[in-house]
Amino acid sequence: MTLELVKAPPPASDSALHLWAVSAETGKIQSLGVLGTDAKQQRALSEAEWLLIKGARSLIVTEEAKSGVPPNQPVGPVRYRGLCVQLG
């Protein structure tokens, strides 16, 4: 997966950006992990992560405390939101 954050101000020094998938079927939000600090990032997806993305209506990026994120939902502000569209 390639992710590019355009015109992205860096998070606060005690925060990190976290990627989440929002289910198209249930609206449930599930974690896809912490993002790196580069504006353009590439990472391999596990089969479970790929299935979350395939079933997602959107992806969101939140700013969360580096000390930890609740596993079931974001608590920080949404910095980015994008629709998931399956091509092909």
Q: pLDDT tens, position by position, for the chain (88 residues)?
A: 888 877 778 888 999 999 999 999 999 999 999 988 888 888 899 999 999 999 999 999 999 998 877 677 899 999 999 998 877 6
pLDDT of residue 10: 83
What pLDDT, on the 0 to 100 scale, is given for residue 51?
94
Which pLDDT value is given to residue 72? 77
Total domains, the chain: 1
Determine the structural domain holding residue 31 and report its residue range.
Answer: 2-83
**pLDDT for the residue 52:** 94
Distances (CA, A) of 67 to 13, 34, 43, 52, 70: 12, 12, 23, 25, 10
Domain assignment of residue 66, yes or no: yes
pLDDT score of 88: 64
Q: Is residue 88 part of a domain?
A: no
